[in-house]
Structure 1
Amino acid sequence: MGLQIWKRLGAAAGMSVLLGSISVPTLADEAVKRGGTLRYGTVSEVASLDPHVAGGSAWRALVGVLYSPLVTYDKNGDIVPALAANWEQPDPQTLVFHLREDARFQDGSPVTADDVRFSLERIVDPATGATLRANLQGARIETPDARTIRISKDSPDVTLLSVLALTEAAIVPKQWVQGGANLKVEANGAGPFRLASYEPSVRASLERNPSYYVEDQPYLEGVDFRMIKSDDARVNALRSQSLDMIDFVPWKDIASLSRNPAFEVDTAGGAFMSVWFNATRKPFDDPRVRQAVSYALDRDAVSKAAFFGHGTPITGAPTASDSQYFNPGFEGTYNRDLDKARALLAEAGYPDGLDMLLLVFQGLGIYTTTAQILQANLKEAGINLTLEPVEWATLVERKNRGDYDAMIYGVSVKLPDPDAYAYYLGADSSFWAKPIGYRDDQLEQLLAQGRAQTDPEQRKLIYRDVEQRVLETSPWVFINWREQAQGYARKVQGYQQLGGALSESSPAISLPTIWIK
């Protein structure tokens, strides 16, 4: 499937100097047509615009074009300049960034080193609940002058540059935030678009940012984000030309839309389905119970029924087979085995089975079908599974306050580096590991070793142990890879669906260069 999840080590590894400038196609090169508004339908609701607190794939698309980080990813998956015109790495512990002179926030104020320091310190502040807090903890941030930022750690961190290229590392204006701005419903970034209006969980209208630092971009005059959770309603809106583009083309509709000459459907791998447990609740605090669920699941049935052939079972760890970190020896760890599932439940003290409540996002058919198969599978192992359908915002809110037994969650690996395990399962991951109550000291030690190790071959050995520990403790049940599809009218030009760690970032990366015939 070409799922290049962790194939890239990250540009920070093995490089001493990194300099660059953004190279963009000109209008003549592309023969593009300026103007127009893209009507874009998203499946998940964007309930908050805070750029430091991740909120799902639609959030990433929307916030990713309102704000800019210091560096970013391009369509090739390479790290390129964004607010930083260039940067260097004088030693393995340090990165030095030099801001571009023409970078301005959408209110016209210049982007300064003080804004960068404030933004990164806001991420580290526990009160923010920032997604990248664990990744930036321990970083020293110095500003020798108004355009220079020096970020250093006590030990090497080969993941740091990759982390700083994520949407969640966006730079916000210090004075604007300290002046009382509500980042959940307001936006003032340095991205290609600026916020014209926003109705949380319903709609967001964007307009072209005339002061965007990339010359001639964006090509569009605006983007109208419409949040449509119904699969059928979203597809019908595209077919009826009420929308120009939709995310998460339902897997049942990929084939029919692909055959329709009026539309394009771009697919790529990189996302996977999983079951998350509340490890603070009995019996899910016992890894044997979590393992039992994993052994009971029929992953082939899920891939066929929920994904219509656009899914591949995960029986080991979620590292793609074409990654340099892939360990084939872990394949088959969790093939379906009802005898093992029952034995583990008995060993954990539940010989007669147990009851379990599963939160299910009701906006996507893949969640509902996966949940129904899981329910039937677990019944055979002695687990009585009750399904509770909820809206996306409700699912996230209940996850964050630990009000659940288990839930189905679909994610893509956010970091093109195996330290993505820390992004999700590191103990200080305030958006992921903390809400599910998971912490494993042995895993923490391994993750720290992996970040500090600069030798690629030694890193492979460390992350093999990371995967083994994750499979042993089973905080998540890994179900299957899924192809991600975007559908759009043929008049929409310039979109590219990326795979691997950048699958969810594809809309934000492409939107500045999308145009309408």
Structure 2
Amino acid sequence: MIHAFPRFLTATIVALACSAATAFAEPPAEPRVLNYEELGKEIGKRGGTLRMLMAKGKDISQMTIYGNARLVIYDQNFQLQPDILKSIDVEGNRVFTFALREGHKWSDGQPFTSEDFRYWWEDVANNPTITKGGPPQALLVGGKPPKFEVIDERTVRYSWDEPNPLFLTSLAGARPTYIYQAAHYMKQFHEKYADPAKLAALVEAEKVQNWGSLHIRKGRQYRPENPDNPTLQPWMNTSPAPAERFVFVRNPHFHRVDPAGTQLPYFDDVIINLASSSVIAAKAGTGDSDLQGRYIKIEDFPFLKKGEKDGDYRVLLWSSGRGSERVLLPNLNASDPELRDAMRDVRVRRAMSLAIDREEINEAIFLGQGRPAANYVLPESPLYTDAMAEAFAQRDLDKANALLDEAGYDKRDSSGFRLLPDGRKFEIIVETAGESSQETDILQLITDHLSEVGISMFVKPGQRDILRSRVGNGDVVMSTWSGLNRGLATSDMNPEELAPVSSVQAQWPVWGRYFETKGASGEAPTMPEVAKLASLYEEWRTAESSEEQSRIWAEMLSIYTDQVFTIGTVSGAVQPIVVNKKMRNIPDKGIWAFEPTHYFGHYMPDTFFYAE
């Protein structure tokens, strides 16, 4: 009885909230009518609760990823199309005119208009108290911002002197660039519009540094922690953070409808319960989740499949959309001069790749479901070629040994390990974020593989934030992470993963910081191949046609793969998905990736429903 009352109370609140949302449902006068024949879906019915499990409060950002409501999104062929927007007119990748849907409203019923774009551009993006670095990179071409125009209440325009192919793809991302905010709500937290005394009281009550910090906290859209902040997503959060249980209810003004005219989403509400990541698979296997992919791994599949017969769920196997399930990231900016020279030598990187027994990793870790391959785009990508996918990915110990000898590491100690020029053992410490037992198992196998060519490797688990700091300081010689997020890349997607553009890229953090800070810190790339990637990336940023973008992507992929800047292992592995047996409109086969499928988002969870 101790737990019955809170559960009953929560259920009552959810029911009331959902009832209210249903009663006042009002899609735009010009909704987006989904083509179910093209999407392979059936007409559903409204109602029901979708339960999911997450490990941390910040995981509620997955609701934004899964919801996949964007100004523009990728269609079934990964081509960009309007979603929240009614239409887009593009002139030479320089001028972008956006038309909004008539009658579209925020979740609180207030109109969604060009004022929301103007407010973000003038009062947020260009206000240093809120946005210290100025407008996001996606809105800068050669360091210059766009000309922004409000044409009318439902039309806005962005224009640059040079092409900006990054603009639309950034709006469609899993973590999109937001160029609008709910002006009617956010103005109460802005110095320009708010009553000074009330604003000061809010700053004090929230215990933040200033009104700018308050504005950021109240206006987050990617991680919807503030229930009062209006949204355009299919479900809206009703639970203030921190919480152990987050309840999202239907957005009564969502812009999509099914072919029969029924406003989406079908589910009344989504409940996210928090649990330790180590028990999520077990809880999914006992029916505590209706839709679960996050925190489930391939090693959980036998257990989940065994429980499928008696459980109220089925287990799907979706393909992974990553370029590689696990990669080694040699730090070309490591502070140790001897090991830095080794990591910068392409012969060493190629030799390490050739020494890895990917077949063993595939069988032992991925149940034989993956493909031994470099960290490269997947066969489903139009940019894919067999030759590059297999570059230095077939085990060849003779060639690996020959390359290491040629690189000057031909001297060995009494145990057979190679020596650095200063006489130290050629020993690499691979540092990890310590978040996956699968990661540890893979690295242990690679440790054995590299020992066969005389390279000693040790694994050092740590914490993600500490690891990033150590990598950026040059304290880490090699780290590990998952492969390319855009394994399904098309030419209009941002090729940023292939070039030094960010300090969090563990293979070249110092060179990435140079780009990130526009030369204020870090260093310009000194390796010709890395400098060429940076140059090609800048070319893509100003490409005028899809043909030019395709040419640049192909050249970047060729350099990136040939130079083995990241050492891939296995691609095309599978991701177990636990699904309530009654759920419909979720595909049996899908691709599990952050981008461009947004995990479940590409398959539109707003169209999922329960059959009788």
TM-score by length of 2: 0.67
Conserved? CA contact 1:361–1:368, under 8 Å: no
1:65-84 aligned within 5 A: 68-75=69-76, 77-84=78-85
Which of residues 6, 12, 24 in structure 1 aligns to 2:34? Answer: 24
Shift in CA distance, 406/124, structure 1 to aligned 2, threshold 3 Å: farther
Q: Which residue matches 2:495?
A: 422
Q: Which residue matches 2:177?
A: 169
Identity %, equivalent residues: 22
The reply to whether residue 241 of structure 1 matches residue 241 of structure 2 is: no
For residues 126-167 of structure 1, what are the alpha-carbon distances to aligned partners after superposition, in whole Å with 9 as ceiling and x for unaligned?
99699x944443251412234322233433344543332123
In 1, Cα distance between equivalents of 2:467 and 2:53: 20
Q: Which residue matches 1:318?
A: 376
In 2, Cα distance between equivalents of 1:143 and 1:513: 35
Q: Which moved more, 1:64-73 or 1:261-270?
A: 64-73
Shift in CA distance, 45/235, structure 1 to aligned 2, threshold 3 Å: same
Shift in CA distance, 212/331, structure 1 to aligned 2, threshold 3 Å: closer
Q: Which residue matches 1:218?
A: 265
User: What count of residue pairs does the alignment treat as equivalent?
Assistant: 482
- Aligned-pair Cα RMSD in Å: 3.9
Cα deviation, residue 242, structure 1 = 1.5
Shift in CA distance, 393/379, structure 1 to aligned 2, threshold 3 Å: same
Larger Rg: 2
1:368-517 aligned within 5 A: 368-390=440-462, 404-411=476-483, 412-413=485-486, 416-418=489-491, 420=493, 422-429=495-502, 432=505, 436-438=509-511, 439=525, 440-453=530-543, 459-481=549-571, 482-496=573-587, 498-499=590-591, 501-507=595-601, 509-517=603-611
**Higher relative contact order structure (alpha carbons within 8 Å, sequence separation ≥ 6):** 1
Structure 2 gap ranges (5+):
1-29, 191-210, 258-262, 410-419, 512-524
In 2, Cα distance between equivalents of 1:226 and 1:402: 39
In 2, Cα distance between equivalents of 1:475 and 1:468: 11
Cα deviation, residue 280, structure 1 = 2.4
Cα deviation, residue 95, structure 1 = 1.8
Structure 1 gap ranges (5+):
1-19, 50-58
Conserved? CA contact 2:225–2:241, under 8 Å: no
Shift in CA distance, 493/152, structure 1 to aligned 2, threshold 3 Å: same
Q: Which residue matches 2:63?
A: 62
Conserved? CA contact 1:246–1:487, under 8 Å: yes
Residue aligned with 1:477, SS: coil
Cα deviation, residue 256, structure 1 = 6.0
1:148-187 aligned within 5 A: 148-167=155-174, 168-173=176-181, 175=183, 176=186, 178=190, 180-181=214-215, 182=217, 183=220, 186-187=225-226
Shift in CA distance, 112/150, structure 1 to aligned 2, threshold 3 Å: same
Conserved? CA contact 2:491–2:546, under 8 Å: no
For residues 151-198 of structure 1, what are the alpha-carbon distances to aligned partners after superposition, in whole Å with 9 as ceiling and x for unaligned?
334333445433321232245526527462413673433211112226
The reply to whether residue 39 of structure 1 matches residue 51 of structure 2 is: yes
Residue aligned with 1:377, SS: helix
Which of residues 190, 208, 211 in structure 1 aligns to 2:232? Answer: 190
Shift in CA distance, 387/470, structure 1 to aligned 2, threshold 3 Å: same
Shift in CA distance, 25/420, structure 1 to aligned 2, threshold 3 Å: closer
The structure richer in strand per residue is 1
The reply to whether residue 275 of structure 1 matches residue 276 of structure 2 is: no
The runs of 4+ residues in structure 1 deviating greater than 6 Å are 120-130, 396-403
Q: Which moved more, 1:379-388 or 1:335-344?
A: 335-344
